[in-house]
Amino acid sequence: MDIKKPYVIAEIGCNHKGNMATAKELIKVAKIFCNVDAVKFQKRNNIELLTEEQYNAPHPNPVNSYGDTYGAHREFLEFDVEQHQELKTFCEDIGVTYSTSVWDVTSAKEIASLKPEFIKIPSACNNNVAMLEWLCENYKGEIHISTGMTTKDEIEGLVGLFSKFNRAKDLVLYNCTSGYPVPFKDVCLLDINILKEKYGDKVKHIGFSGHHLGIAVDVAAYTLGANIIERHYTLDRTWKGTDHAASLEPMGLRKLSRDLLAVYDALSYKPTDILPIEQVQRDKLKNQKG
């Protein structure tokens, strides 16, 4: 049985509130206190991504908005390419992997120019064929894709596209339910089995991207075979913004990393009927008179 070591990604996303110092603090805490393997941000070209009507409309939840319109809100939370390079360098300096989710072709080209180890495609954009094809042809790293809001036929099409470009072995497919937060009954963890059975020998890894509460579900996802675990992460769940409430705070993320490594160590068969640790107890307890 091939048990892969867990790989934990702290999805910072836009939880930095548009502030570089906060972004770096999130990175530092994720690495040093939470012991994660990677941190991930988001990159959008909002003019390309949104219609004029969407850009100029008010934020649907004004209390979480950083601008007078949804477009202004999104622009406030964006870092430019130079800032992303600064974040990547900061990550390298403290020994954690940098990555970013890209939402459009322009963002994909910008982040690919930084040559990160992997780039993520969010569920909302996994039908952007132009972006996927550009990445297959021009970006050499791993491409991670979430499958929330995606039919099984669409997942089949995604894997087919990557196979056509001979890039399936660089593909990581994530089981995901798109909701913030997701009730446990809607997590549907057993879909991991479907991804493993259909694509486990075709893609590089199977992952799990969770938007639920707590950390028990992530441990179960890993046990089912999703060795890459991604969770939204913030320093304070009460901060202004839409993702904080569905995010783990540092102590929760630290416990998740700890528990995943514990389960990794525990997932084995006994090499002998009686382990050395048991022999001592057997000698002591199994020879007692009834």
Check residue 118 and give its pLDDT.
98
Alpha carbons 171 and 189: distance in angstroms, whole number: 20
The answer, yes or no, to whether residue 159 has pLDDT greater than 70, is yes
- Asked if residue 158 lies in contact with residue 133, where contact means CB atoms within 8 angstroms, the answer is no
In this predicted structure, the answer to whether residue 192 has a pLDDT above a threshold of 60 is yes
Q: What is the pLDDT of residue 242?
A: 73
| Per-residue pLDDT reduced to its tens digit, 43-62 | 999 989 888 998 998 888 87
pLDDT exceeds cutoff 70 at 271: yes
Residues 88 and 147: their CA atoms lie apart, in Å, by 26
What confidence tens digit (pLDDT) does each residue in 218-240 have?
A: 999 999 999 999 999 999 887 77
Q: What is the pLDDT of residue 290?
A: 55
Enclosing H/E stretch for 27 = helix 20-32
d(Cα 260, Cα 223) in Å, to the nearest integer?
Answer: 9
pLDDT tens digits for range 88-123: 999 999 999 999 999 999 999 999 999 999 999 999
Residue 1's pLDDT band (cuts 50, 70, 90)? low
pLDDT at 184 over 60: yes
Domain covering 7-285 in this structure, CATH number:
3.20.20.70
- pTM: predicted TM-score of the whole model, two decimal places: 0.94
User: Percentage of residues in the chain with pLDDT exceeding 90?
Assistant: 80
Chain mean pLDDT for the chain: 94
Strands (E), the chain: 7-13, 38-43, 97-102, 118-121, 142-146, 171-176, 205-210, 228-232
